[in-house]
Amino acid sequence: MDKSKQKARVHFSNVVEVFGGKKSEEAFKAAKSVNGKVERAAAVPVDDDDEVDDFGSEDEDFNEETFSDGTDDGEGEISLNMNESETADGSGKEGNALNIDDVYERIKATVGSLKSLSSQTPRRKSRKEYLEELRKDLCLYYGYNDFIMERFINLFSIEELLEFLQANEVERPVVIRCNTLKTRRTDLAKALINRGVNLRPVGNWSKVGLVVYGSPVPIGATNEYLAGHYMIQEASSFLPVLALDPKEEEKILDMCAAPGGKASYIAALMKNSGFLVANDINQARCKSIAANIHRLNVKNAIVTSIDGRKFNKIKFDRVLLDAPCSGSGVISRDPTVKISKTESDIRRCSLLQKQLLLNAIDQVNANSKTGGYLVYSTCSVFVEENEAVIDYALQRRPVKVVPTGLTFGLPGFTRFRSGRFHPSLKECRRFYPHKHNMAGFFVAKLKKLSNPKPATNSGKVSSVYSQ
């Protein structure tokens, strides 16, 4: 093992030590087993199915013994965000090198002080002062800007915060979704295992997902991939489709569909019946939708490129809105989020999300005999992009929050800091990398109660945040 990996392992051990060992260690078991060992498809892009701030039949006879054992001898190396020559200002100039170990020791001391704050007599510093010191050191240690780190500090307890930050340093495993329009999961698994692919089921909650722990060939360039037998897709992006629960012969809209992973999953659950509109405002990304639905043998879909805020005239049984967002839940895949997002970005996303959601609700047919549902999702963990958006819609459209039907995940917030949301938002579901070993995600399901728009409300959003 080279020196850099040895150092990274030391920091992983330090993270476990700061928060008492066992709990943190358990939180990373799955992530450690796959870190750095998945061979992604060279020169073949992963089918990224998360909408990040861009305007723009089931296998019943599955037997787990069919699959390779999925064990991995990886040692859980965690790559740090700063190399040894980097300075606190990121300049990397020699002679003023930042000692990352000193930063860690300060974090450890500050956390200890916060834990014992109630017993300090007299108090050396206030809790606010300790949190300010912790924020600055965590920004240095993990490479975040002040704004993003402050939001995370507000979102999590001190103990959970570092588990979340460390989970963001671990690359999520590659997950593929079996395309049941062309094959069964057992048959797909056997074919890939014969090619030397090491894989396992994604979990009991999915009948189509497979986690790829290692492959001697690019997983995005196998004959099975090219033949449309599977889609490379984040496990978390399965969730909104499962919550939508599409039925055969329905009329369904995927409002922000690129690159087509969720839309093609919807088509598979509909068994190519009914009518599916896969829409995206970005015409260039619509090409990827068209390519994927062709490869995956989707026959009940059309691709459109319309601003979701201007969609009208057609009423659907179900609508999926996987809204453009800050991407704060997919930092392990896109580390640029750590420094690129600002408060104005979050406000802009929240404003767009509210506009899209109001119009998405207007596209749902409340009188549908089988549907009348809308699912809203984001790959963000920020409340402003999730619960605040749903609460805003509840005040302006005839809808109610209903259970998602998902068997795991944490309940949505009904209160956050000084804000209060409708009690029904506890039915929403939150997913975190440090708890569920998948990208951070939010899923809410709404039932439309009547078709006419309330006379006193327009589709315009006059305020970024719901009051």
Residues serving a catalytic function are 379
The answer to whether the CB of 391 falls within 8 A of the CB of 340 is: no
Within its chain, how far is the Cα of 12 from the centroid? 23
* 3 is annotated as contributing to ligand binding: no
Q: How far is CA 111 from CA 24, 104, 264, 342, 368, in A?
A: 15, 11, 46, 26, 54
Give the DSSP H or E segment for 301: strand 301-304
* 261 is annotated as contributing to ligand binding: yes
Task: Locate 26 and state its tokens.
Answer: 């358990």
* 262 is annotated as contributing to ligand binding: yes
* 260 is annotated as contributing to ligand binding: yes
Residue 47's nearest CA partner among 299, 211, 313, 259 is: 259
**What DSSP string runs through 128-189?**
HHHHHHHHHHHHHHHT--HHHHHHHHHHS-HHHHHHHHHHTTSPPPEEEEE-TTT--HHHHH
Q: Which residues have a Cβ under 8 Å from the Cβ of 194 and sit 6 or more positions away? A: none
* 257 is annotated as contributing to ligand binding: yes
* 334 is annotated as contributing to ligand binding: no
Under DSSP, the state recorded for 20 is T
Count of all residues that appear for the chain in the document: 467
* 219 vs 46: CA distance, rounded Å: 9
Task: Locate 271 and state its tokens.
Answer: 């068994």
Binding site listing for S-adenosyl-L-methionine: 256-262, 280, 307, 322
Binding site listing: 256-262, 280, 307, 322
